[in-house]
Amino acid sequence: MANSRWTAAAETPPVSLRRRGPVLERAILEAALEQLSTVGWSGLTMEGVAAGAQTGKAAVYRRWPSKEDLVADALQAGLPVLDEAADHGSIREDLFQLCRQVRDAMYSRSGFAFRSVLYECDSSTAERFHGVIVRRVVEPANQLYREVVRRGVTRGDVRADAIGELVFDVIPGLMMYRSKVCGSEWPDEDIAEMIDQIMVPLLRPGTG
């Protein structure tokens, strides 16, 4: 009997791994991203995050007094980096590969976390994350689209007057609408169709 009790106790995982400082904080942020990507904003709880990080609830609240504070820092730390748009030799291929890059980022674990916040939060709560979303997603992606289009102007396969705010809104607007409203996961063939039927005709010299 004593041996069976000892074995059961030995197999029970510890409640806390006794980590401290940046190591513990990283574990908590990772657990928050995991919760967001699996159960979403509505299902995320501070208790669930603590359990996922294998620490006590007090350790989470000591660093982040609210769910909103924790999620803001988790997104800041975990959102994918969009910092390069390779030159593939044509506006068609540049846009196609950039859209695939954005698609892959948005369907990564941290991308699912980002979308759960974007889609589930009411407007007042979403405002709390507005700065993080703009700095880490909207501005970097917009900058890469601009880089690709300007490169196309220099190359000669994009007309010179195609650089405008509405033009740069077309791809993210379509991707957001089709993802949120239609449930599309943007397979390569859908990206190619968007580029070939909408973006290339819109940007091609001699149109507009």
- Model pLDDT for residues 70-115, shown as the tens digit of each residue: 998 998 888 878 888 999 999 999 999 999 998 888 888 888 888 8
* Contact between 186 and 178 (Cβ < 8 Å): yes
Q: Angle at Cα 96 formed by Cα 92 and Cα 101, nearest 5°?
A: 150
Q: What are the boundaries of each domain within the chain?
A: 12-78, 91-203
Report d(CA 8, CA 160) in Å as an integer.
72
In this prediction the pTM is: 0.75
pLDDT of residue 6: 42
Class of domain 12-78: mainly alpha
* pLDDT digit string, tens, across residues 150-203: 999 999 999 998 888 889 899 989 998 888 788 888 999 999 999 999 999 999
- pLDDT bucket at 17, cuts 50 / 70 / 90: low
Question: What CATH number is given for 91-203 in this structure?
Answer: 1.10.357
Amino acid at 195: I
- Whether 91-203 and 12-78 are alike in CATH topology: the answer is yes
